Amino acid sequence: SDESGKGGSTARSFSLNDDSLSIIEHLRSVLAIAITTAFPQLSHTPVLLTPSIKFGDYQCNNAMALAKKLKDIGIGKSPRDVATELINSCPVSPRIGKLEVAGPGFINIFLNKDYGVRAITDLLRNGVKPPKVPKKRVLVDFSSPNIAKQMHVGHLRSTIIGESICRLLEFLQHDVIRINHLGDWGTQFGMLIAHLEDRFPNFLNESPPIGDLQAFYKESKKRFDEDEVFKKRAYNAVVALQGGDPNSIKAWQLICDVSRKEFKTIYDRLEINVKERGESFYQSRMLTVVDFLRKQNMLEVDDGREIMWPDESKTGIPLTIVKSDGGFTYDTSDMAAIRHRIEEELCDWLVYVVDSGQSTHFATIFKAAKRCGIFQPKVHRADHVQFGVVLGEDGKKFKTRSGDTVKLADLLDEGMKRSLEQLRSRGRDQVLTPQELLDAQEAVAYGCIKYTDLCHNRISDYVFSFDKMLDDRGNTAVYLLYTYTRICSIARNSGEDFSNLSKILETIDITLTHDKEWKLVSTLLKLHDVLVKCSRDLFLHFLCEFCYEVCTAFAEFYDSCYCIEKNKAGQIVKVNHSRILLCEATAIVLRQCFYILGLKPITKI
C-alpha cells in the first residue's frame, strides 16, 4: 500500500537534520529532491514509499512509473536505470544507511543504525516527542448520548473512538476541543416535564427521586400516545421550555441531571474527558441561523415546512430547518452548531464521531454549510468519523438475551467479572496485593472493551465477545498488557536500578549487533510514521496494529537475545545493559500508544 498520502512535506521546507519529521516524511523529502535533481521535467511526481518487511526498512516504488513518463517525452531509460539515477541524486541523509536497486526497479532503503542508536538514546532521555504536523484548532464531537434514553453500544463506540482521537490529536499538539453534543432538547421534553409535574408536584422544592429515567420516559410516552389532554399539556410545556419559562427550565434541568449522573459514572470508569455542550446550548443560535438562512434565500417552503437543499441542483435529501409547527429539528441544531464551531469557536477542523447510520445527515449538513458560505473547503475540514454497529455472537445486532438493548453499566460490570475470573484462574490473586489485583482487573476489563473497539477498522461492524477479547494470543489488549508487564519486569529483575535512564546513558552506550535488536529498534522508530498515518484519516486500528508489531518484535528479540544471564544456581552472572535499555525504550513507546488507546499500563499483572 502506498503511504505517501496527502499533504506531505515538500522539498522546500525540508531540513535533513529535522528530527521531528517522521521517517517516511523524511524519506519522502529526500526522494523528492532526488526526483527533482535527476529528472527536473518530472519534479512534481509524488513520492511512493512503503515500509518493507524483508529487504531493507522502506521501499520506494517510483522508478517504474517515472520510466514510462520519460518514455512519453522521448527519453528511453529502463526502470532500473531510473532507480540508479535516483539513488545517485539523493542528498546525503543522516538517517539512511544504504540504498539499493532491486527487482524491476524498486529502491530498497536501509536505515542507518547509528541514526537508530541516536533516536533510541534520545527517546530514553526525553520520552516520545510528537512528530511535527501543521497545527489545527479541532473540535471533536463525540459520545453525545440522549437524555432520558439509554446510552447504548453505539454511543459507547463513539465515546471510545472519540476519546482516543482527542488523545492522538492532543499529542500531535493540535488545539483540541472535546464536545459532548448531548441530545438534551426537543419535543420529548414536553411530555417528560408534564409527567414530572404530575408524579412529583413538589419538584420545585424537593429533588424528585427518579430512579429509572428510562421507565419514566416510557410511562410519559404511553400517556402522550393515549391521552389527548396530556398531549396538549406536553405540547404547551415544550413551548414554555423553549420560551425560557423558569419552572419549565428547572424541571428540564432536574430530568437532565438524572441522565447526566448515569453518563458520568460511565465516563469516570472509562476515563473519558468531554465537555457537555448539548443541543439546548444552540437554542438562541438556531433562531439566528434560521434568520441567516432565510436572508440568504436558502430556505424553501415545502408542505408547511421550511427546507434547505444541500446544493443548487436540488438533489439529495433536503434538511428540515423549520417544522410546520414552527419547531426546530436535529438538522437545525446541527446547522447552528457548525456555524458556531466555525464562526465563534474559530475551528478549522471539525470531527463528528457518530455511527455510519448518520452519514447522509452529515454529508448533507457539510454540503449545506458550504452552500451558504459557513464552511469554506479551502480553510476548513470536516470529517464524519463513522463507525459500524456492534454485533452479538449470533451475528445480529447486540442485544441482551431478552432482546433489550444492553445497558452499558451492566456491560462494564460483566467485563470486570470476566477479567477477575481470568486473573484468578491464572492464580494472580495469590501473587498480587489486593490493590494490584484490582488495578489489573480494571486494566484488563476496560482495556479489552476499548481495544476491541479500536483494533478493527472502525467502518466495519464487529462482534462483541468477551471470550475473544480476553484471549491472550493475537492482537488483543490482554496480550499487549501482559507483554508490557513482562518488559517492565526485566529491568526490575536485573538487580540493578534502571529508574534514572539519563544517568545510565552517561556510562552505557546502546549497541545494535544482533539482527533482532535492530528489528526491534527499526520497529520502534516507526512510531512517528504510524501516528501521522492515524491522524490523517482518523483511523486508530493502525496504532493497534503497530502495538502488536512492537510486541511481536519484542518477543523475537527476547527469545534470541539474553538480557540477563544466570548460572545454574539461578544467580545473575551478567546484565546486558544495552539490551535492558532497549526493553525500556520498548516500554516507553508502548506506554505512549497505550495512553492514546486508553489502555492502563500496569507494571504487575
Tell me how far, at minimum, the Cβ of 383 lies from ligand ARG, in Å. Answer: 12
Q: Which residue, 350 or 480, has its beta carbon nearer to ligand ARG?
A: 350
Stretch that binds ligand ARG, among 74-82, 144-152, 298-306, 473-481 (CB under 6 A): 144-152
How far apart are alpha carbons 534 and 531 in whole angstroms? Answer: 5
Tell me how far, at minimum, the Cβ of 211 lies from ligand ARG, in Å. Answer: 23
CB atoms within 10 A of CB 499: 10
Tell me how far, at minimum, the Cβ of 137 lies from ligand ARG, in Å. Answer: 17
Q: Which residue, 281 or 539, has its beta carbon nearer to ligand ARG?
A: 281
Task: Identify whether the C-beta of residue 47 lies closer than 8 Å to the C-beta of residue 4.
Answer: yes
Tell me how far, at minimum, the Cβ of 276 lies from ligand ARG, in Å. Answer: 12
Q: Which residue, 159 or 485, has its beta carbon nearer to ligand ARG?
A: 159
**Residue written as grid cell 423553549:** 242
Tell me how far, at minimum, the Cβ of 263 lies from ligand ARG, in Å. Answer: 12
Tell me how far, at minimum, the Cβ of 344 lies from ligand ARG, in Å. Answer: 15
Cα angle at 154 between 152 and 159, to 5 degrees? 95
Stretch that binds ligand ARG, among 98-106, 139-147, 286-294, 414-422 (CB under 6 A): 139-147
Task: Identify whether the C-beta of residue 334 lies closer than 8 Å to the C-beta of residue 352.
Answer: no
Residues between 145 and 164 with contacts to ligand ARG, criterion CB under 6 A: 145-146
Closest by Cα among 136, 134, 87, 131 to 107: 87
**Residue written as grid cell 517515472:** 66
Task: Identify whether the C-beta of residue 43 lies closer than 8 Å to the C-beta of residue 16.
Answer: no
Question: Helix, strand or coil for residue 493?
Answer: helix
29-41 burial, b if ≥16 CB within 10 A, otherwise e?
A: bbbbbbbbbbbee
**Residue written as grid cell 427550565:** 249
How far apart are alpha carbons 258 and 149 in whole angstroms? Answer: 11
Tell me how far, at minimum, the Cβ of 136 lies from ligand ARG, in Å. Answer: 19
Residue type, 439: D
How far apart are alpha carbons 424 and 418 in whole angstroms? Answer: 10
Task: Identify whether the C-beta of residue 361 lies closer than 8 Å to the C-beta of residue 330.
Answer: yes
Question: Helix, strand or coil for residue 36?
Answer: helix
Tell me how far, at minimum, the Cβ of 159 lies from ligand ARG, in Å. Answer: 11
Q: Which of 26, 95, 167, 181 binds ligand ARG (CB under 6 A)?
A: 181
Query: What would the grid cell of residue 418 be?
Result: 470476566
Q: Which residue, 181 or 528, has its beta carbon nearer to ligand ARG?
A: 181
Residues touching ligand ARG, count (CB under 6 A): 10
Tell me how far, at minimum, the Cβ of 312 lies from ligand ARG, in Å. Answer: 25
Q: Which residue, 370 or 604, has its beta carbon nearer to ligand ARG?
A: 370
Residues between 471 and 500 with contacts to ligand ARG, criterion CB under 6 A: none
Tell me how far, at minimum, the Cβ of 134 lies from ligand ARG, in Å. Answer: 25
How far apart are alpha carbons 520 and 555 in whole angstroms? Answer: 9
CB atoms within 10 A of CB 527: 23
Tell me how far, at minimum, the Cβ of 106 lies from ligand ARG, in Å. Answer: 45
Q: Which residue, 186 or 447, has its beta carbon nearer to ligand ARG?
A: 186
Q: Which residue, 29 or 332, has its beta carbon nearer to ligand ARG?
A: 332
Tell me how far, at minimum, the Cβ of 146 lies from ligand ARG, in Å. Answer: 5
Stretch that binds ligand ARG, among 68-76, 142-150, 379-387, 552-560 (CB under 6 A): 142-150
Tell me how far, at minimum, the Cβ of 152 lies from ligand ARG, in Å. Answer: 9
Q: Which of 189, 352, 466, 498 binds ligand ARG (CB under 6 A)?
A: 352
Could you write out the three-class secondary structure of 326-379? CCCCHHHHHHHHHHHHHHHCCCCEEEEECCHHHHHHHHHHHHHHHHCCCCCCCC
Residues between 447 and 476 with contacts to ligand ARG, criterion CB under 6 A: none
How far apart are alpha carbons 348 and 318 in whole angstroms? Answer: 25
Tell me how far, at minimum, the Cβ of 369 lies from ligand ARG, in Å. Answer: 12
Stretch that binds ligand ARG, among 99-107, 143-151, 246-254, 494-502 (CB under 6 A): 143-151
Q: Which residue, 47 or 274, has its beta carbon nearer to ligand ARG?
A: 274
How far apart are alpha carbons 367 and 301 in whole angstroms? Answer: 20
CB atoms within 10 A of CB 283: 15
DSSP state of 146: B
Q: Which residue, 181 or 516, has its beta carbon nearer to ligand ARG?
A: 181
Task: Identify whether the C-beta of residue 352 lies closer than 8 Å to the C-beta of residue 384.
Answer: yes
Q: Which of 22, 144, 248, 476 binds ligand ARG (CB under 6 A)?
A: 144
Cα angle at 278 between 276 and 280, to 5 degrees? 135
Stretch that binds ligand ARG, among 71-79, 140-148, 317-325, 396-404 (CB under 6 A): 140-148
Asked if 385 is part of the footprint of ligand ARG (rule: CB under 6 A), the reply reads no
Q: Which of 183, 310, 415, 447 binds ligand ARG (CB under 6 A)?
A: 183
Residues between 283 and 342 with contacts to ligand ARG, criterion CB under 6 A: 334, 337
Q: What would the DSSP string read from start to end of 164-189? A: HHHHHHHHTT-EEEEEE--B--STHH
Stretch that binds ligand ARG, among 43-51, 120-128, 138-146, 585-593 (CB under 6 A): 138-146
Stretch that binds ligand ARG, among 65-73, 137-145, 217-225, 481-489 (CB under 6 A): 137-145
Task: Identify whether the C-beta of residue 472 lies closer than 8 Å to the C-beta of residue 401.
Answer: no
Residue 396 has, within 13 A of its CA and on its CB side, a CA count of 7
Stretch that binds ligand ARG, among 69-77, 141-149, 196-204, 415-423 (CB under 6 A): 141-149
Q: Which residue, 65 or 270, has its beta carbon nearer to ligand ARG?
A: 270
Q: Which residue, 84 or 386, has its beta carbon nearer to ligand ARG?
A: 386
List interacting residues with ligand ARG (CB under 6 A). Answer: 141, 144-146, 181, 183, 334, 337, 352, 354
